[in-house]
Structure 1
Amino acid sequence: MRYLCDVRHIFLDMDGTIYHGGRLYPTTLPFLRFLAEREIGHTFLSNNSSCSTEQYGEKLHAMGIDASPEEFYISTDYTIDFLKRNHPEIRRIFLLGMACIRPAFEAAGFQLDESAPEAVIVAFDRELVYERLCRAAWFLKQGIPGFATHPDPFCPTDQPTWLPDCGALTACLETATGVRLKVLGKPDPGMLRAAAARRHVPVEACLMAGDRLATDIAVGVAAGTLTCQITGPGADLTPAAGIHPDYRVNDLGELQQLWQEEEQQLRR
């Protein structure tokens, strides 16, 4: 049996886990201090590919969290790592996504190609232009392989709107073309394993905490980490058959309390 006290690194989902929309949960900063006091590392692990890691850092800084780009691993990072490891032949890509993530692909050596790409990359595109959606569909129909950064059909928000996400765009393209895309991001266990490898920590010594069973908890289960579902306000509690977390708490404060209680028990 594994214990929270054995955890040396925690992977934290963001929206619905440490904040909701633009509001930081009051338990987040105390929990991060709790981890730092025990020299337990953390990584913010997100499927959302509509922002760069620098932008995420700025968002958290505005909420009172100082986080460097190295403390994030998002589906954009995993897509790049996946392509470089499994498809080194692909260098030219058509990117259906936000302009802010283009530099990450370029820095990794990919060329953005609007006329003769070797792959189509579909991300969460909040600047979606219909003509570019059609262009992506055309390339897929010509036999160009397609990759989606993550499967989420919608993005959570605390605003009076609904945000179709990468999974919705993927479904649109697959329906229109009859072509299946390779979907990356959580719950693909490769994402968590790749993030753990970057941190030089074995997955057996990690905990995955998040609100969504189908992505956050499923990726931890598949990768072999301990898992904790966050169920408080702003969490996405959509059921997922066969996915069961090791822990279920209302917020990170309750997780911290469980952790401290376990520490006390083991000291006896």
Structure 2
Amino acid sequence: MSLDNFYIFFRLLHFSAVILLFGITVFIRCLSHGNFRLTLQYNLRRLLTYSLLIALLTSVGLLAIQSGLMGDGWPDTIKGSVIADVLSTTFGQAWRWQIIFTLTASVCLLLPIHWRLNLITLLAFLLLISLGFVGHVTLHSGAIGWLHRVNHALHLICGGYWLGALIPLLICLRYLSVEQYRSDAIGTFIRFSQVGHLAVILVILTGIINTALILQRWPVDWSSAYQQLLAIKVFMVMAMVMIALYNRYKLVPKMNQQSNNAMRYFVFCTLLEILLGIIVLSLVSVFATLPPA
């Protein structure tokens, strides 16, 4: 496999791991309460650890791969002088924070449970923000450049909440049938939905702004690979929006009536939403390496 392909693959893994880490920690820390929070934290502890370790490994791996791409191939992926040159670039200056934040979050796994969750939640938030400072956002400088970076960071935070919290949501649904936790699970579910509406709206708005800032026009040049993949991404996101609306306004009311079929359909649709989200991240990982034209 070439370095270019490795870069795309590692980028997909890294973004997926960071988004999942953010979704898990925000879902547990901000949406659940009391003993139910401890229960969710216990159920999601391994997934949180795995996502964090993958984020750490891929953050280091992407720096090495970028060094190989900037240098003369695989030998330069571990060459100190080339890595130092990469760290002096715009990418390197932003990416070093990915390594610092993921390494710090990994150390936090050794802390007591309360401090562990609070600090990893904060670091996951910072990880997503710092990802907003790499990629095509570096095309602009000055006020427009900062606007683009802030907008992209907001896009990642909202998208990270939407996609990253879907797996914790499925875990939460298990407890709707457990009398001890039913009211807590319902409350968590409601809070997820309330914030989710805003997150979806902001994902769409910030995505439009990103496109306008990068292309300076509507994506209508279908001979451009970048714009083709961007159009597919938009279609996939719209499909995710439709599924989310169907879940919320068609299936959730039926779940309130203790419908087992509604619950099964909700789980299926949520899994489909996750699959589409992975496809979106895959598309972004590819067209992020292409020149916008």
Question: Per residue, is there more strand in 1 or in 2?
Answer: 1
Using structure 2 for the length normalisation, give the TM-score: 0.26
Question: Per residue, is there more helix in 1 or in 2?
Answer: 2
| Max Rg structure | 2
Using structure 1 for the length normalisation, give the TM-score: 0.28
